[in-house]
C-alpha cells in the first residue's frame, strides 16, 4: 500500500486514497502468495483517461449486465442441491442480505454465486487434500439472482475452519466465498463472508489485509429475523458494490 502511494508521484492518475482505505493491498507480507502474484506497479485509473461522457460508452463504463443471468430456485439451496438421497452433515444456516450500490439503492438482477467448505472444512475440489471427510450430500456451491429489493437468500451448512500452508499452524476462519456481478464491470466483486465471534479472524492474513474498519463489513451478523423457527439460524450479509445505478454518462447529464 505504501509502495503504491509512493509510486503515485509521477503525474499518472492512480488509485484514490479512499480506495486504499476500503480495500486490501495487492501485496501483503503476511499473506505469502500475494508477494509473487499481486501487481507491483501502480494501477492506472481508467475512467480518468476518458472525459466523463466517453467512459459511459466504454465496456467498463456501460451498466447493463444486470438481469442478464437466470438461476433456478433450487440452485440457492445448498442443503439440497448436492443431496444424493440424504441431508448434508452440519449446522443448517440461512445466509441472506441485500446487494446495494454506493447510494444504497438495490442492485437488481445481480448474479450472486457462493462456494464453501463443508462442515468438516473440506472443499469438493481435487486440490484440497485436507484430511477431513467429504460429504456425499454436499456440493458446497450455489447461486441466485438478486430480487427487486436487491435481496438474496441462501440455505446452506455452516462451513468448517481448515488448515492451510501460509505459516505454521495456519487456519482459515469459517467463511463463505461470494462472487457478485452487478450492472457493470465496476460492480464486479469477489469477496468472503465471515462469522461473528470467530477467534481465527484475528490471526488470518487474508482478512487482516483489509483495513480494520473496512474488514468489519466482511463479518456477517446473526439475525433473528432471518432465522427460521425450528430450522436454521440466520446470518445477514449486505453487500455494497462500487458505483451507482446511473452510468457516468447519465450522472454527467444530470450535473
| Half-sphere exposure in the Cβ direction for 165 (13 Å, CA) | 5
Q: Which residues are catalytic?
A: 123, 162, 172, 175, 177
> Where in 125-184 is the site for other proteins (CB under 8 A)?
125, 127-128, 139-143, 177, 179, 181
Phi/psi of residue 145, each to 5°?
Answer: -115, 130
Residue number with CB closer to other proteins (101 or 195): 101
Mark 81-110 with x for binding to other proteins (rule: CB under 8 A) and - for no binding. xx-----------------xxxxx------
Mark 30-59 with x for binding to other proteins (rule: CB under 8 A) and - for no binding. -x-xxxxxxxxx-xxxxx-xx---x--xxx
The string of DSSP letters for 168-226 reads: TTEEEPSEEEEEEE-SSGGGEEEEEEE-TT-GGGGG-HHHHTS-HHHHGGGB-EE-TTT
Residue number with CB closer to other proteins (127 or 224): 127
What is the spatial distance between Cα 125 and Cα 48, in angstroms, rounded to a whole number?
Answer: 41
What is the spatial distance between Cα 186 and Cα 251, in angstroms, rounded to a whole number?
Answer: 15
- From 30, 89, 106, 191, residue interacting with other proteins (rule: CB under 8 A): 191
What 3-state class would DSSP assign to 61? Answer: coil
- From 123, 155, 195, 235, residue interacting with other proteins (rule: CB under 8 A): 123
Residue number with CB closer to other proteins (89 or 218): 218
Q: Does position 221 bind other proteins by CB under 8 A?
A: no
Q: Does position 227 bind other proteins by CB under 8 A?
A: no
> Where in 193-212 is the site for other proteins (CB under 8 A)?
206-207, 209-211
Q: Does position 190 bind other proteins by CB under 8 A?
A: yes
- From 108, 109, 115, 137, residue interacting with other proteins (rule: CB under 8 A): 115
Query: Which run of H or E residues covers position 239?
Result: strand 239-240
The three three-digit cell numbers of residue 163, written as one number: 488448515
Residue 230 region, left (φ>0) first, then alpha (ψ -120 to 50), else beta?
A: left
Compute how many residues bind other proteins; rule: CB under 8 A.
87
Amino acid at each position: 500500500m505504501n509502495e503504491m502511494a509512493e509510486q503515485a508521484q509521477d503525474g499518472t492518475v492512480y488509485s484514490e486514497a479512499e480506495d486504499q482505505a476500503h480495500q486490501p493491498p495487492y501485496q501483503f507480507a503476511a499473506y505469502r502468495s500475494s508477494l509473487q502474484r499481486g501487481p507491483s506497479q501502480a494501477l492506472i485509473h481508467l475512467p480518468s483517461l476518458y472525459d466523463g461522457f466517453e467512459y459511459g460508452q466504454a465496456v467498463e463504463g456501460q451498466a447493463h449486465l444486470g438481469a442478464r443471468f437466470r438461476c433456478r430456485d433450487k440452485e440457492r439451496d445448498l442443503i439440497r442441491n448436492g443431496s444424493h438421497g440424504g441431508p448434508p452433515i452440519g449446522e443448517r444456516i440461512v445466509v441472506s442480505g441485500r446487494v446495494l450500490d454506493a447510494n444504497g439503492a438495490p442492485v437488481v438482477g445481480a448474479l450472486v454465486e457462493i462456494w464453501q467448505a463443508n462442515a468438516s472444512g473440506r472443499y469438493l475440489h481435487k486440490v484440497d487434500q485436507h484430511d477431513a471427510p467429504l460429504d456425499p450430500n454436499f456440493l458446497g456451491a450455489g447461486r441466485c439472482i438478486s430480487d427487486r429489493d436487491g435481496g438474496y437468500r441462501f440455505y446452506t451448512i455452516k462451513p468448517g475452519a481448515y488448515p492451510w500452508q501460509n505459516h505454521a499452524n495456519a487456519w482459515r476462519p469459517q467463511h463463505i466465498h461470494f462472487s457478485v456481478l452487478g450492472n457493470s464491470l465496476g460492480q464486479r466483486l469477489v469477496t468472503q463472508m465471515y462469522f461473528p465471534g470467530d477467534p481465527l479472524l484475528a490471526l488470518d492474513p487474508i482478512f487482516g489485509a483489509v483495513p480494520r474498519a473496512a474488514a468489519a463489513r466482511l463479518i456477517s451478523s446473526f439475525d433473528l429475523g432471518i432465522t427460521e423457527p425450528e430450522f436454521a439460524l440466520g446470518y445477514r450479509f449486505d453487500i455494497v458494490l462500487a458505483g451507482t445505478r446511473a452510468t457516468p454518462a447519465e450522472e454527467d447529464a444530470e450535473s
